[in-house]
Structure formats: structure tokens, C-alpha cells
Amino acid sequence: MTGILQDRTVQRCIEDCLHCYRTCWSMAFSDNLQRGGAHAEPGHLSLMLNCAQLCETTARFMLSASTLHTELCALCAKVCGACAQSCAQLEGMEACEAACRACAQSCREVAGFELPGTFTIDQLPTTGVQGGPPRQGIMG
């Protein structure tokens, strides 16, 4: 085993990314779609599934000893932060929120900065869906 995979920070980040991937992905199907309503709002569900996908890709970059993983980790931290905040506004999403926050923190450490760093509501990206909710995960 060579390079970045020997780094403990990277090892924990891979763990956290894969945990966040499986939590977001499975909760999207098992909880959000079952509950419907705000839990299945397209902007929120898209955010959860894309967060899962990006976590998996970020883990894969580290697993393949890429040297381009730091910027991907920085972006992954941002998306996980947005997903955590979106989940925080819904009931029963504590596990997903926690997984996202842990992954965001690990990714920030690998990326080389450790800011407190979650979005405020105003910084959440807009959904871009015409006639839909203005921001990812915001219904009201």
C-alpha cells in the first residue's frame, strides 16, 4: 500500500465517505420516498442522491491513490454540508444529517482546512426547478 492510503486522515475520510454514501442512498429509498411530502420533494431527494454519489466518487478517488482528491474533498464537504442542513429541516433524518456532518468534517481535513463550515440557509443553492421550492430542501 502506497501514498495517500497510508495517511490516517485519508483512511478515516474514505470510511466516512462510504458511510455517508450508504446512509444517504438507503434513507432516500427506505425513508424519504416512503414518507412522501417534504421528504420526497425533488430538490431534497436530488440533493441526497447526488450527495451519496459524490461521496462514493470521492472515496473512489482516494482509493485509487489519485493526487486530485483534495479539491474533490473540498467540494464533497460543501455538498455534504448542504445535505446536512437540508436534512436538519425534516423529521427523522438525524442519521443522514450526522453522516453528512461527519463526512464534511473528514473531507475538510483532507482538503487541508478545518473551518466550522456548514452553509447558512441563505447560502443553500437554489433548486433551479421552475415553480418548485426556491432552495434545496426548503419547502415552505
Q: Does 14 bind a second copy (CB under 8 A)?
A: yes
* One residue of 9, 29, 94, 117 binding a second copy per CB under 8 A: 29
Any contact of residue 120 with a second copy (CB under 8 A)?
no
Candidate residues 13, 39, 78, 106; the one interacting with a second copy per rule CB under 8 A: 78
Could you say whether residue 128 binds a second copy (CB under 8 A)? yes
Nearest distance in Å: CB 37, a second copy:
10
Nearer to a second copy, 27 or 101 (CB): 27
What is the distance between the alpha carbons of residues 55 and 22, in angstroms, rounded to a whole number?
9
Determine the Cα–Cα distance for residues 83 and 99; give it in Å rounded to an integer. Answer: 10
* Residue 133, number of CB atoms within 10 A of its CB: 17
**Contact call for residue 31 and a second copy (CB under 8 A):** yes
For the chain, the straight-line distance linking the first and the last C-alpha, in angstroms and rounded, comes to 50
How would you classify residue 138: left for phi > 0, otherwise alpha for psi between -120 and 50, otherwise beta? beta
Q: Dump the DSSP string for 112-138.
A: T-----PPPGGGSPB---TTS-SBTT-
Q: By CB under 8 A, is residue 59 in contact with a second copy?
A: yes
Q: Which residues bind a second copy (CB under 8 A)?
A: 1-5, 14, 18, 22, 25-26, 28-31, 33-34, 36, 40, 42-43, 45-47, 49-50, 53-54, 56-57, 59-61, 63-68, 71-72, 75, 78-79, 82, 125-130, 132, 136
